Amino acid sequence: MTAPLLEIDNLRVSFPTHTGRVEVVKGLSFTLGRERLGIVGESGSGKSMTGRAILRLVRSPGRQVADRMVFDGIDLQAQSERAMRALRGARISMIMQDPKFSLNPVMTVGAQIAEALRVQERLPHRAVRARVLEMLEAVRIHNPERVARLYPHEVSGGMGQRVMIAMMLIPRPDLLIADEPTSALDVSVQAQVLDLIDELVRENGMGLILISHDLGLVSRYCDRIVVMNAGEVVESCVASELNNATHPYTRGLIAAQPRMEETRDELPVLDRSAWSGT
């Protein structure tokens, strides 16, 4: 394997409360090549904060520290805020949960995608337009010319998320962070959007970090999986080996999910006292 794309060592994110600083990410370490990594956890596990911390987007009064945070030879912690801004989008992109809140409501879809490109590269108007339409086609929007002229409220949820993906991928980043990219979408659309992300990531040889609460979904779309609970990694394994997970939390999570061919009378409930102090 060549040099890893992203190396993170002992990442900690903390927030102040009345009773002192509380860590929401407690010493997270992993390395990522040009592969697909899934981060799974329930709400409050710190999985989203991890995604934001990689982009140094933890808002004050939150604070992040790490022993090492290197992206493609660049020390992320040593970069100025200005340098980080240039990095975000151009080299590392992030897809958020709900397209409704991430798209500017008063700009057409095409203009927003063009904007994302123009921030990174200076291109003639015609070339920008061509790239935008090409990108919209790549995210399987059949009528790109028409869609580019629409406003965010005029497109459906699935279409909006595809527009977000187009916007994030048009500068050709090396790493894509997708934070619950499909949880606001219907199941049939979910599969389409994830297939699309998967295909684009593989074609362009990018790295992908897929953050989700859904174990099944992550195991289907990722090569490796990291399971987080209360800010700590409890399990780290190859996706196909998930069924042989050893940690009681991971096992409990798998068991608690109802199955399609359900015959159990009662779902096993996580016994949190087994591994956490509370």
Q: Which residues bind another protein (CB under 8 A)?
A: 42-43, 157, 186-191, 213-216, 219-220, 242-243, 252-254, 256-262, 264-270
> Closer CB to another protein, residue 149 or residue 259?
259
CA 137 vs. chain centroid, Å, equals 22
Using the minimum distance from each CB to another protein, give the nearer residue, 111 or 189: 189
Extended strands (E) in the chain: 6-17, 20-32, 36-40, 63-65, 68-71, 74-75, 92-95, 175-179, 207-212, 224-229, 232-238
Least distance in angstroms from the C-beta of 189 to another protein? 8
96 or 253: CB nearest another protein? 253
Q: Least distance from C-beta 47 to another protein, angstroms?
A: 12
Q: Report the nearest approach of another protein to the CB of residue 254 (Å).
A: 7
Task: Give residue for tokens 């500068």.
Answer: 171
Query: Shortest gap between Cβ of 250 and another protein (angstroms)?
Result: 11
Distance of alpha carbon 91 from alpha carbon 157, whole angstroms: 26
At its nearest, how many Å lie between another protein and the CB of residue 99? Answer: 14
Partnered with residue 88 across adjacent β-strands are: 92
By beta-carbon proximity to another protein, the closer residue of 110 and 252 is 252
Residues in the chain: 278
Give the C-alpha separation, 66 to 77, whole Å: 8
Q: Comparing C-alpha atoms, which of 211, 192, 214, 200 is closest to residue 169? A: 200
Nearer to another protein, 123 or 270 (CB): 270
Using the minimum distance from each CB to another protein, give the nearer residue, 203 or 265. Answer: 265
The sheet with strand 175-179 has its strands ordered as 92-95, 175-179, 207-212, 36-40, 224-229, 232-238
Question: 53 with 77: CB under 8 angstroms?
Answer: no
Least distance CB 247 / another protein (angstroms): 14
